[in-house]
């Protein structure tokens, strides 16, 4: 069956005890791939849980988002200037 474009993907929620047990097993040396398969979760999700338990950042900081936005704006300006230079150099 084909999914409609406007349907939302449903995400599963995991309680703190489930996450803690998964992290404990990873720290005891169980492979992430094996654990992900047995628990039915993605490997990246297990890595994220481990990082969160250590207090690490889970996504880009506000500063990183601001810098990426600024970089995009500057790249666009640079492209505009390149085009203007090529137009003005043809006029000579």
DSSP letter for each residue of 55-68: T---S--HHHHHHH
- pLDDT beyond 90 at 7: no
> Rounded distance, CA 29 to CA 50, Å?
13
- What's the rounded Cα separation, in Å, for the pair 36 and 69? 35
Residues in the chain: 92
DSSP state at residue 13: -
Of the two residues 60 and 89, the one the predictor is more confident about is 89
Distances (CA, A) of 45 to 7, 24, 31, 67, 69: 23, 15, 14, 26, 27
Mind listing the pLDDT tens digit for each residue in 41-79?
A: 999 999 999 988 887 666 777 888 999 999 999 999 999
Report which of residues 59 and 11 the model is more confident about: 11
């Amino acid at each position: 069956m084909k999914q409609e474009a406007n349907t939302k993907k449903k995400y599963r929620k995991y309680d703190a005890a489930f996450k803690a047990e998964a992290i404990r097993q990873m720290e005891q040396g169980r492979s992430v791939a094996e654990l992900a398969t047995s628990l039915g979760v993605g490997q990246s999700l297990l890595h994220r849980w481990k990082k969160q338990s250590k207090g690490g950042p889970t996504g880009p900081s506000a500063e990183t988002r601001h810098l990426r936005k600024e970089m995009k704006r500057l790249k666009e300006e640079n492209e505009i200037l390149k085009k203007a230079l090529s137009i003005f150099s043809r006029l000579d």
